[in-house]
A and B are shown apart, each in its own frame.
Chain A
Amino acid sequence: MNSPSSSTSESQDEKIIDLFWNRSESAIGEASREYGRYCYSISYHILRSTEDAEECVNDTWLRTWNAIPPQRPGKLSFFVGRIVRNLSLDKFRSKKAKRRGGEMSPILEELSEAIPGGPDTESLVLDRELGRVINDFLRTLPENACHLFLARYWHSMPLAEIAAKFGVKENNIKASLFRTRGKLKEYLEKEGMQP
């Protein structure tokens, strides 16, 4: 995945956000040029379909157009990344996407290990509260474990790609993620994130 954060300056982000803010039609073109590949990469990891990923990326610009204003994101890559991630998750939930494979099925299976009371537990928590607890949890982790967790479960990167990006063996990544999921489960239990 090409991370735009290293190559895109904050001022470039500001320019694109200003275009959205001022309802300039070139906003979508600029955002697509800057973050199109980034968004496509996230979506493709989830959906494993060029057509579906492209559709999600196109929908992302429309959602971004509708969101800015009133919202004014800090870092545009993460803002559009979240949108394409959620759109891709929605699309994945169709049976067709599930059959196709990709990273999403193993990722969800892995995450089930972190859920207190097991995967069949209904209604884990209110989403907003869960988000806050996860943020707090990630700040308790050693840096590297936090980075690997986010590469896998935010970017939905395949293990091989994470290994190449971080220069770490796949087995070490698996071991780290396993330990982190265990810690997350304990943390969620401690925070009362179970019915």
Chain B
Amino acid sequence: MNNEERLYQAIGEVDDELLERMERAMAEQPTGRADRNRNKGRLLWQAALSSVLIAAAALLLIFNDSLFHRDGNVTYTASGPVVDRAIGNESSSSVVTPGNGQIVYFDSVRRAFETNKDSRTKYFVAIDLFADEMPLNVGSFDTHRELKRLQELGLQVGYAESWTYQGEGGQVDYLYAAGLLTAEQLKNFPASSEYGYAFRFATNADGTPVTTENFVEAGSRTKIK
């Protein structure tokens, strides 16, 4: 037996626990190829509905900004001004995958930095975590560990809840990693060399922004009001 075969054979002896985690991750993927084909019609219908609703939301933003923005794109909480949204659409060029140790700010977040000069302003952002340029599951141990590390560095990070469409007219909530961070904290973000980070403003499926009411700090059971 040569070395490659010996290595291959040795890989066969890995712990059950690692294999179980892999199979669980595989099962958690929402759409395998077969599922995609099976759900194609439903997904097309959902995509069409989402597009109409997003377009409607965009029109509302353009023609009646005050409907969604009580005071520009800043809302006020007990802790001071909070930015949880930005006016205008995201340009496709801003959507890139960060490599390990890299940070990507979506255009909307960059624009918000320029618009809001108050250093006390906090930005309520979604934190998309990547490892080796692949997104981490929000429920994964790695995500939990990284949020804990950031929290120990004094950053207000945790999880937020958004919703998307599911089935015919139904809605389903989902979690994502989020942070309530100042511009300085975002610009000097303590990135780990193990992960990539993308910061954006999260929205629900109808285009409305997710607010801080849906934010829970890591390790806490209470939502921030």
Enumerate chain A interface residues (CB-CB to B < 8 A): 3, 5-6, 74-75, 78, 82, 85-86, 89, 93, 107-109, 111-112, 114-115, 119, 121-125, 127, 130-131, 134-135, 138-139, 142-148, 150-151, 153-154, 164-168, 172, 175-176, 179
Hey, which chain B residues are within 8 Å of A89, CB to CB? 5, 8-9
Q: Which chain A residue shows the least CB distance to B141?
A: A143
Taking the nearest CB of chain A, how far is it from the CB of B202, in angstroms?
Answer: 20
Chain B: interface residue total (CB-CB under 8 A): 43
| Min distance, Cβ A10 to any Cβ of chain B, angstroms | 11
Can you give 18 A-B contacts (C-beta < 8 A)? A75-B16, A86-B9, A108-B5, A111-B8, A115-B3, A124-B7, A125-B6, A130-B10, A134-B11, A135-B13, A142-B142, A143-B131, A143-B142, A145-B132, A150-B18, A164-B33, A165-B29, A176-B132
Q: Is the CB of A131 within 8 A of B10?
A: yes
In the complex the two chains form, is A3's CB within 8 Å of B21's CB?
A: no
Q: Tell me which of A122, A124, A134, A165 contacts B26 (CB under 8 A).
A: A165
* Cα distance A130–B1 in the bound complex, in angstroms: 14
CB nearest to A112 among chain B residues: B4
Most buried by B among A3, A78, A89, A151: A78
Give complex CA distance A165, B33 in Å: 7
Q: Are A3 and B132 in contact (CB under 8 A)?
A: no
Is B90 close to A, CB under 8 A? no
